[in-house]
Amino acid sequence: MGIAQRDLKKIKIGTEAVIDVEGEKANGVVTNIAEAPDETTRTYNAEVTIKDKNFRLGSIAKVVFDIGKERGIWIPISAIMSDGEDYVYIVQGDRAFKRIVELGEIYEDKIMVKGVKSGELLVVSGMKNLIDGSKVNIQE
pLDDT digits (tens, 9 = 90+) for 80-127: 999 889 999 999 999 999 999 999 888 888 899 999 988 899 998 888
Question: Rounded to an integer, what distance in angstroms lies between the CA atom of residue 77 and that of residue 16?
Answer: 28
Residues 35 and 89 in one domain: no
Full-model pTM: 0.54
Residues 14 and 50 in one domain: yes
Residues 54 and 98 in one domain: no
Q: Number of folded domains in the chain? A: 2
Mean pLDDT for all residues in the chain: 88
Name, in order, each residue with C-beta under 8 angstroms of 81's C-beta and a sequence gap of 6 or more. Answer: 87, 88, 89, 127, 128
Residues 78 and 129 in one domain: yes
Question: Rounded to an integer, what distance in angstroms lies between the CA atom of residue 77 and that of residue 82?
Answer: 12
Residues 80 and 116 in one domain: yes
Residue range(s) defining the domain that contains residue 87: 73-135
